[in-house]
């Protein structure tokens, strides 16, 4: 009975934790699933409070997963344990570095116009095994094309609903994107024409049948699944030679965003327009963070460097002054961790991260 009460308390704590974090703007979709599973795991172990050994055992349960997934799962528990320790002093917070891994950033790929055309053409000629599949070639043709000309994220395209598409004004409304923001995406007239043709085919095929309100739907009438889209993309990529038959890595759908970004930047530079002025919120903040991509971006690199040199050539100020405000090690302004480790957990005599008090804004005076 006591164990059941402890599990109910932990489940309630997870609910409260997720509610608080979401109120701060975090989505926590994967974290919520993971924490629910962790609490169930603790119930099977008849544990009433979080320990480091339990967290490690649960994080490494899917033995076929990569170390990055293990570290992510342990991170879910670590953050929750910090929250839980405020109300249950027995809670052990898993230390950093218990499941180390070296993250690798995928190398961006810039598609050429001919490669994008080949991909769209291959999508349009996808074989249809059943009558219900006849819309799928048009679905992927339109979806991949929309990614290439708008720079939208795949999740944003998947979440696009019919009410978000205004073909009269040529505007897409993207809702609840990264960091909970929404934005408007203008479309070229040619894009509107293709999208309108797809929607007309979609409505004709699903007349009199139940179908989702999402723009891009599967042959079952539901929103396209993320894995379905990637399987179709990988199959078509191998078909047109973008990937080898057995390649596990290669050009990605997300690279369509890089194509859109680099072409937009090139257009601005060639028009003598400074990106930081035209669009102050553009990311990445440094164009140089996109290298190396392909040799075709050498023009963009030269234009970017020239623009940055022009921006930083003001008389009487240091070029990097506005970028670097904190000119001393950030660790020197952090506070020492309180020595209140739970039983069975080692004490930590080091500086706690993510805490910059107001003194960090005071710049160190240069010795005379």
For 50-66, how does the pLDDT look when each residue is reduced to its tens digit (9 = 90+)? 999 999 999 998 777 78
pTM of full prediction above 0.75: no
Query: Which residues touch 160 (CB under 8 Å, ≥6 apart)?
Result: 172, 174, 214, 215, 216
User: C-alpha distances in angstroms, 354 versus 20, 72, 172, 330?
Assistant: 19, 19, 38, 10
Query: Which residues touch 92 (CB under 8 Å, ≥6 apart)?
Result: 49, 50, 51, 52, 55, 81, 341, 342, 344, 345
First to last CA, the chain: 71
Tokens of 9: 């308390």
The answer to whether 44 and 51 have CB atoms below 8 angstroms apart is: no
pLDDT of residue 130: 76
Of the CA atoms within 13 Å of residue 46, those in its CB half-sphere come to 2
Which residues in the chain come in under a pLDDT of 50? 1, 284-296, 305-339, 348-368
Place of tokens 């020197």: 332
**Segments making up each domain of the chain, as ranges:** 2-84, 113-240, 273-311, 325-368
User: What pLDDT, in 10s, does the model give residues 108-127?
Assistant: 888 888 999 999 999 999 88
Q: Report the CATH fold assignment for 113-240.
A: hpI Integrase; Chain A (1.10.443)
The answer to whether 170 and 186 have CB atoms below 8 angstroms apart is: yes
Place of tokens 């926590």: 28
């Amino acid at each position: 009975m006591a164990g059941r009460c402890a599990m109910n308390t932990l489940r309630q704590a997870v609910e409260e934790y997720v509610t608080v974090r979401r109120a701060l703007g975090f989505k926590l979709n994967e974290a919520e699933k993971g924490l629910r599973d962790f609490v169930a795991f603790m119930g099977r172990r008849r544990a009433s409070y979080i320990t480091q050994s339990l967290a490690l055992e649960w994080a490494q349960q899917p033995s076929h997963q990569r170390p990055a997934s293990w570290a992510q799962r342990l991170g879910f528990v670590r953050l929750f344990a910090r929250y839980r320790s405020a109300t249950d002093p027995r809670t052990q917070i898993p230390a950093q570095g218990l499941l180390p891994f070296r993250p690798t950033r995928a190398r961006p790929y810039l598609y050429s116009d001919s490669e994008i055309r080949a991909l769209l053409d291959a999508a349009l000629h996808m074989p249809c095994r059943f009558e219900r599949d006849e819309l799928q070639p048009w679905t992927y043709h339109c979806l991949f094309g929309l990614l290439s000309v708008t720079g939208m994220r795949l999740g944003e395209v998947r979440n696009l609903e019919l009410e978000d598409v205004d073909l009269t004004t040529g505007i897409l409304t993207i809702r609840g994107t990264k960091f909970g923001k929404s934005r408007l995406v203008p479309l070229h007239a040619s894009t509107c024409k293709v999208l309108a043709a797809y929607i007309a085919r979609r409505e004709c095929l699903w007349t009199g049948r139940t179908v989702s309100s999402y723009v891009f739907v599967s042959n079952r009438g539901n929103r396209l699944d993320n894995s379905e889209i990637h399987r179709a993309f990988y199959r078509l990529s191998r078909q047109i030679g973008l990937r080898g038959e057995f390649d596990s890595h290669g050009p990605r759908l997300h690279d369509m965003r890089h194509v859109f970004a680099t072409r937009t930047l090139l257009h601005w530079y060639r028009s003598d327009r400074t990106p930081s002025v035209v669009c102050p919120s553009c990311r990445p903040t440094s164009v140089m963070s996109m290298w190396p991509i392909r040799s075709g971006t050498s023009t963009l690199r030269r234009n970017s460097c020239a623009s940055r040199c022009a921006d930083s050539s003001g008389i009487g100020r240091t070029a990097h002054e506005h970028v670097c405000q904190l000119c001393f090690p950030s660790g020197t302004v952090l506070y020492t961790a309180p020595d209140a480790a739970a039983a069975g957990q080692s004490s930590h005599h080091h500086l706690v991260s993510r805490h910059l008090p107001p003194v960090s804004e005071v710049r160190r005076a240069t010795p005379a």
